[in-house]
Amino acid sequence: AGWALVFIAILYTAAPAVGAMARYNLHATVNTAVITGGDMFAPEASIQGETRPDWMKRWEKTGLIAWDDKNGDGRIQYYNDASKDEAFLAKADAAGWKGNELGSVAKGTFTGKVDNDIMVLANPEIAGLPNWVIALIAAGGIAAALSTAAGLLLVISSAISHDLMKGVFARNISEKSELMAGRIAAAVAVLIAGYLGYNPPGFVAQVVAFAFGLACASLFPTIVMGIFSKSMNRGGAIAGMLTGLIFTLVYIVYFKRDVLLGMDKVPDSEWFLGISPEGIGVVGMILNFAVSYLVMKLTPACPDHIKHLVEGIRYPRGAGSAQAH
């Protein structure tokens, strides 16, 4: 487990660098001056649209990347046309550029911004890796997604059917009814996941950040306090989880309501302490810890058998004293 955490940390630490290199490769693909150091505004620096790479033509079918020849010169101009560098924009205008021509298609409209997901999905092809390597990467990604989805469905169904239904709301429920409740919970989870997959609240990295934020605000504090504090009781754990989960979920939905609910976008200037929806889980975690501790102090103490259970987790039965090596 320790080594797994180390490699996970390395992966997420290196991810921004990989993304930056992928963006650089894309820019170098459509403008040869990026590598040669020549004049990027020269007509010959921008590649001709007809000679664009095959991977780009293939991915255009998905709408994640698209080319719109705004100035009709048959070449691809890929740049930040919203830059605040007036000198740069003046050179672009003098070169006859009429705006960024490489973007994506959303709801039938050219957005002028390459979809962030393409940086992950097409990165092996952009780097020119062999087809068999691309196939291995794709197979690994699909396998990881399927295994994760299967595990989450099992957890969701068992948590609702066994922990909630049988453990809290209907203690006398039969095994057949418990099994049916688990199946219904799994089906509902699949429908919700399908809807969010069809209408994602953001690109892949954002969705992962939302998931980690919700887990950080709800599960992490409860697990930590449940293991390292024998005084943590049921009321404190439930109150903390609900507080962190509701706060984080409402914050994400409020600032992503333009994507999730089709409402007007809330300006980023209204973020709480400048914290984006992707990072608000940390605040939810702090609220979870605070509310859990406060409710724990105001409610009856944890039963003795639960304290013994926590003690058993810390020191498994039959384990001897630590030995020096």
pLDDT tens sequence across 243-295: 999 999 999 888 888 777 777 888 888 888 888 888 888 899 999 999 998 98
Q: Does 142 map to a domain?
A: yes
The whole-number average pLDDT for the span 225-247 is: 84
Cα dist. 94→26, 71, 103 in Å?
24, 12, 22
- Specify the pLDDT at position 247: 92
Q: Is residue 173 located within the same domain as residue 189?
A: yes
> Is residue 302 scored above 60 in pLDDT?
yes
Instruction: Summarize pLDDT for 2-20 with one digit per residue, the tens.
Output: 677 788 788 778 877 887 8
Q: Is residue 34 located within the same domain as residue 88?
A: yes
How many domains, in total, are found in the chain? 3
Q: Is residue 101 located within the same domain as residue 148?
A: no
The model's confidence at residue 203, banded by pLDDT at 50, 70 and 90, is low
Q: Does 229 map to a domain?
A: yes
Q: Is residue 66 located within the same domain as residue 28?
A: yes
Q: Does 323 map to a domain?
A: no
DSSP letter string, 233-287: -HHHHHHHHHHHHHHHHHHHHHHTHHHHT--PPPPGGGSGGG--TTTTHHHHHHH
> Is residue 204 scored above 80 in pLDDT?
no
The whole-number average pLDDT for the span 195-220 is: 78
The model's confidence at residue 303, banded by pLDDT at 50, 70 and 90, is confident
Q: Which domain holds residue 261?
A: 202-316
Q: Does 97 map to a domain?
A: yes
The model's confidence at residue 319, banded by pLDDT at 50, 70 and 90, is low
The whole-number average pLDDT for the span 139-155 is: 83
Q: Is residue 227 located within the same domain as residue 175?
A: no
CB count within 10 Å of CB 89 equals 16
Is residue 56 within 8 Å of 62, Cβ to Cβ?
no
Q: Is residue 288 located within the same domain as residue 264?
A: yes
Q: Considering 127, 146, 163, which residue would you say is the last residue of a domain?
A: 127
Q: Is residue 102 located within the same domain as residue 191?
A: no
Q: Is residue 181 located within the same domain as residue 209?
A: no
The model's confidence at residue 141, banded by pLDDT at 50, 70 and 90, is confident
The model's confidence at residue 322, banded by pLDDT at 50, 70 and 90, is low
Instruction: Summarize pLDDT for 153-162 with one digit per residue, the tens.
Output: 888 888 888 7
Q: Does 213 map to a domain?
A: yes
Q: Is residue 142 located within the same domain as residue 252?
A: no
Give the range among 44-48, 154-158, 196-200 with minimum mean pLDDT.
196-200
- Specify the pLDDT at position 1: 52
Q: Does 92 map to a domain?
A: yes
DSSP letter string, 134-158: HHHHHHHHHHHHHHHHHHHHHHHHH
